[in-house]
Amino acid sequence: MPIFETLEQNARLYPDETAIVEINPSFEPETRITWRDYALMQPIPGEPFRREITWMDFDCRANRFANLLLTRGVKKGDKVAILLMNSIEWLPIYFGILKSGAVAVPLNYRYTAEEIKYCLEKSDSSLLVFGPEFIGRMEEIVDRIPFIRHLFYVGEECPTFADSYDHMIKLCTSKKPQIEITDEDDGAIYFSSGTTGFPKAILHAHMSLMHAMRVEQAHHHQTHDDVFLCIPPLYHTGAKMHWFGSLMVGAKAVLLKGTRPEWIIQAASDEKASIVWLLVPWAQDILDKIDSGAIDLSKYDLSRWRLMHIGAQPVPPSLVKRWLTVFPNHDYDTNYGLSESIGPGCVHLGIGNNHKVGAIGKAGYGWQVMIADEHDQPVARGEVGELFVKGPGVMKCYYKDEEATRESLTDDHWLRTGDMAMEDEDGFIYLVDRKKDVIITGGENLYPVQIEDFLRKNDKIKDVAVIGLPDPRLGEIAGAIIEVKEGMTMTEEEVMNFCLDMPRYKRPRRIIFADVPRNPTGKIEKPVLRARYCGESLVAQQIEL
């Protein structure tokens, strides 16, 4: 069944209970706003600190937007793009698109104007919903996207080239549109991170969305009483698919607009959050603030917080051990996934497996995994190969890219992840590195994740990225870009002395002290680092080994 039927069920079972809360700590004083009847909602000057909607509100808004799309000629299979920051409007718009029979196309809020144009054209989008943060970028391209038939603007002071979402939505009925949708119908297009040029369009069926919901709830055991604190961007599969577990049981979720450690802890306390999904930098920042005394945990009520989980990137074991020392009553899980596998959960560590911290885990609920060689054949346990996954959440294809689809999907629908991995004697899978990130130095394979994990054990290092740097003799050498913790200093000699416990061939040969760039989902932007440092004259010492 399509996932919006779960939303409709929640509206029947819990009509007056809170579904979504939006918190923006940047705005004071605190204002509590509850919209009970969306049809009568009046524009609100400024942006409130806190607002919420019930399950009935949520479903009615989704129906209204679906009917608005139908009045604009949207037909089943049409593509409707979303370009919004996290907000209380985001999810009702997404579900309204699904209810209309159209395909939802969430866009990365960091896209430049040209990337927005590319993605709209690549996905065959014919409508776009956008917010105030994107007016300038839209002005750059609005005259060059004639294929976009309608632009809807969410916010005050609607630009002249768009229609006001807030105004138009009030004119539409809240009755559910009668559109027949099957599990096999197209449901959403998500874009890849675009690490090798412009991003690829990843097409998923409605079946994928339903499977993501079942996987999340099976892994983290959400109940109706749980409260999920959601911080990452909703355009990405990760945040939304984790929220799907709350959707399945009609549990409240909180959208926090901001990543400051104090805001996260305050929101978890005020909203009685029980599940919080963090990215590595946010978890590190929280611990650093606690260690420095800037956050005094005795001033907060975190008694309901039961689960902290991390995904989207390799997780340093030292970070998890440090977290569980500070929060010994927390359950912990690591989630692995790709947008091509509808986000997190195709592999997960599993609650209760803290003795295997460092592994990404085993096959998730309803998933199969295989570690294969270059001929797509399974390797022996303990050997390194490429991780393959298979299940109901695998993409249908890369939209309008048959060649890329053939490269990523086998004939029997295994997905090649591009990640190198190995399986231990207990069946737990460890990521070794991205296939394309492996450094070949003098014929030896170096896996940057292993070097990064080692360096993160140093108390002075906040973040680190290891990349291959060109070398005339060895082909490549390992270079470590190190971000030092605030208020601390570090020398190259200190780093190299710290690395003496590593095998000689794994030690980085160049040390560069600089910030480590990460995208909104927490992944290190290694293409940015390669463009910055490869082939350039580096102001950094080369270590002779």
Domain boundary (182, 208, 234) is at 208
pLDDT above 70 (res 518): yes
pTM confidence score: 0.82
Cα 23 from Cα 26, distance rounded (Å): 9
**What does the pLDDT look like over 355-409, one tens digit per residue?**
998 899 999 999 999 999 999 999 999 998 999 999 999 999 999 999 999 999 9
Indicate whether 59 belongs to any domain.
yes
The letter for the amino acid at 83 is L
Domain boundary (148, 177, 208) is at 208
How many residues can be counted in the chain?
545
* Percent of residues, the chain, with pLDDT higher than 90: 70
| 237 in Cβ contact with 209 (< 8 Å) | no
| 467 in Cβ contact with 530 (< 8 Å) | yes
Q: What phi and psi values does residue 264 have, to the nearest 5 degrees?
A: -65, -50
Indicate whether 355 belongs to any domain.
no
pLDDT of 197 reads 57
Domain boundary (161, 190, 208) is at 208
**What does the pLDDT look like over 473-504, one tens digit per residue?**
677 889 999 999 988 999 999 999 999 988 78
Tell me the CATH number at 54: 3.40.50.12780
Full 3-state SS string of 320-333: HHHHHHHCCCCEEE
* Domain carrying residue 136: 4-18+29-208
pLDDT bracket for residue 75 (50, 70, 90): very high
Please give the residue that has the higher pLDDT: either 62 or 524: 62
Please give the residue that has the higher pLDDT: either 204 or 442: 204
Q: How many domains does the chain have?
A: 2
Indicate whether 241 belongs to any domain.
no
pLDDT of 45 reads 45
pLDDT of 437 reads 77
Least confident of 129-138, 297-306, 446-455: 446-455
pLDDT of 184 reads 96
pLDDT above 60 (res 37): no
Mean per-residue pLDDT for 300-323? 87
212 SS3 class:
helix
Cα 300 from Cα 298, distance rounded (Å): 6
Mean per-residue pLDDT for 410-426? 93
Q: What phi and psi values does residue 6 have, to the nearest 5 degrees?
A: -65, -40
468 SS3 class:
strand
Mean per-residue pLDDT for 145-163? 96
CA angle at residue 239 from 288 to 189, to 5 degrees? 145
471 SS3 class:
strand
* Percent of residues, the chain, with pLDDT higher than 70: 90
Tell me the CATH number at 490: 3.30.300.30
CA angle at residue 529 from 527 to 533, to 5 degrees? 120
Cα 524 from Cα 517, distance rounded (Å): 6
**What does the pLDDT look like over 184-227, one tens digit per residue?**
999 999 998 654 457 899 999 999 999 999 999 999 999 999 99
Cα 2 from Cα 76, distance rounded (Å): 14
Cα 25 from Cα 260, distance rounded (Å): 10
* Cβ within 8 Å of residue 227, ≥6 positions away: 251, 252, 253, 254, 271, 272, 273, 274, 275, 304
CA angle at residue 7 from 25 to 337, to 5 degrees? 70
pLDDT above 80 (res 78): yes
Instruction: State the first-to-last Cα distance of the chain, in angstroms, to the nearest integer.
Output: 60
pLDDT above 80 (res 325): yes
Indicate whether 255 belongs to any domain.
no
CA angle at residue 11 from 6 to 12, to 5 degrees? 95
Q: How far is CA 350 from the centre of its chain?
A: 19
Indicate whether 515 belongs to any domain.
yes
114 SS3 class:
helix
Indicate whether 95 belongs to any domain.
yes
Indicate whether 23 belongs to any domain.
no
Indicate whether 165 belongs to any domain.
yes
pLDDT of 40 reads 36
| Among 192, 144, 107, 539, CA closest to 395 | 192
Q: How confident is the prediction for the chain on average, in pLDDT?
A: 89
Secondary structure E strands in 170-226: 186-191, 201-205
pLDDT bracket for residue 26 (50, 70, 90): confident
Cβ atoms within 10 Å, residue 71:
11
Looking only at the bridges linking them, the beta strands covering 252-256 and 18-23 are parallel
